[in-house]
Amino acid sequence: MKRRYALRFSPTLVEQPIVSKLARTYDVDINILNADVASGRGGKLIVELSGTEENLDASVLYLSEVGVIVSEMVKELLFREEGCIHCGACTAVCSPRALRMNNEAKLVFDVSLCVVCGLCTQACPLRLFEVSNERET
């Protein structure tokens, strides 16, 4: 089972090996999809956790107990495709290549690759993308 989360760390929590302890103690695989972390200022990680349902639940509980703010990511980017002019502006900011142009110069959106970073919402000149909200756990 896989779940995606936004993890927010305070400046003091950034100095602790929380993510490595999470992987070792709770037998979960951690795929870091995006990171903005700096010593002394805190940060945010977007992660995909893989493991059993019980281990994922225990992982989230552990993170909350140590003070990490945990929000489940709804794996959904809303795209109003009918208004798309296939300009490709969104593809320039999509590093996981969830948004790309096909051989017919048409925009293709692969939901399975989307990390819900939200960069496409600003890149699209017609504002056809909307990111669903995180749910705090």
Q: Compute the residue count for the chain.
A: 137
Question: What's the CA gap between 3 and 90, in Å, rounded?
Answer: 25
Domain range annotation of the chain = 2-72, 77-132
How high is the pLDDT of residue 134? 54
Q: What confidence score (pLDDT) does residue 96 get? A: 92
Distance from C-alpha of 93 to C-alpha of 85, rounded to nearest angstrom: 17
Tokens for 122, please give them.
Answer: 């600003």
Q: Are 2-72 and 77-132 equal in CATH topology?
A: yes
**Which pLDDT score, from 0 to 100, does residue 133 have?**
65
- What's the confidence (pLDDT) of residue 64? 97
Which class would CATH give 2-72? alpha beta
Taking the C-alpha atoms of residue 57 and residue 51, their distance in angstroms, rounded to an integer, is 10
The CA distances from residue 74 to 6, 86, 96, 101, 130, in Å, are 10, 26, 17, 25, 12
Q: What is the pLDDT of residue 131?
A: 84
Residues 6+ apart with CB under 8 A from 43: 8, 9, 14, 35, 36, 37
Tell which CATH architecture fits domain 77-132.
Answer: 2-Layer Sandwich (3.30)
Going residue by residue through the chain (137 aa), what tens digit of pLDDT does each one get? Answer: 989 899 999 999 999 999 999 999 999 999 998 899 888 899 999 999 999 999 999 999 999 999 999 998 876 788 999 999 999 999 999 999 999 999 999 999 998 888 888 899 999 999 999 987 655 55
d(CA 18, CA 22): 6
